[in-house]
């Protein structure tokens, strides 16, 4: 079952991410997809803030992975926009850690993603409004969506 959320502002998206963080669990994988400027990194900022991470969160477009280890759980923030499908960068290694993985442009590496995960597709409606469509894969993610949305 898919779930839908309409964000009317950056603050709405930040709050939604914080609510999802409250349901986190070790090994959680969140896959973000959407056009440039849709709010993928905004979502990560809200999630990181809720974890207690005070670092400035920016998209790791050129570094591919940024690891944040100062919060109540480790956060592995990935941006795979510039990854060639054949390029190896050890993404699978992060899925076996106890932290949380959030992957921007995850659809580009779909065949490498774990079977159980949460896909979030973000659609731009206008300057402030975004529609987020959640597709949970697995019972833990289904329960998370039921609890938060």
Please, what is the angle between helix 40-51 and helix 10-21, to 10°?
A: 50
The pTM (predicted TM-score) of the whole model is 0.95
What backbone phi and psi angles, to 5 degrees, belong to 101?
-105, 130
Predicted confidence at residue 84, as pLDDT, reads 67
Question: What's the N-to-C CA distance of the chain in angstroms?
Answer: 12
Question: How is the chain split among helix, strand and coil, in percent rounded to 5?
Answer: 30, 30, 40
User: Alpha-carbon distance 12 to 15, whole Å?
Assistant: 5
For 92-144, the pLDDT digits (tens) are 889 989 999 999 999 999 989 999 999 999 999 999 999 999 999 999 999 99
Predicted confidence at residue 83, as pLDDT, reads 78
Domains (ranges, CATH) in the chain?
3-148 (3.40.50.300)
For 14-24, the pLDDT digits (tens) are 999 999 999 99
């Amino acid at each position: 079952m898919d779930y839908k959320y309409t964000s009317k502002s950056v603050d709405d998206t930040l709050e939604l991410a914080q609510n999802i963080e409250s349901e986190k669990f070790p090994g959680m994988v969140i896959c973000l997809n959407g056009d440039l400027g849709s709010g993928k990194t905004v979502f990560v900022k809200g999630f990181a803030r809720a974890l207690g991470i005070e670092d400035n969160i920016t998209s790791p477009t050129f570094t591919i992975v940024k690891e944040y280890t100062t919060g109540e759980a480790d956060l592995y923030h990935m941006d795979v926009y510039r990854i060639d499908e054949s390029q190896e960068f050890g993404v699978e290694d992060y899925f076996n850690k106890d932290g949380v993985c959030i992957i921007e442009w995850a659809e580009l590496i779909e065949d490498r993603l774990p079977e159980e995960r949460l896909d979030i597709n973000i659609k731009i409606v206008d300057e402030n409004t975004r529609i987020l469509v959640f597709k949970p894969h697995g019972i833990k993610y289904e329960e998370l969506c039921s609890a938060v949305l």
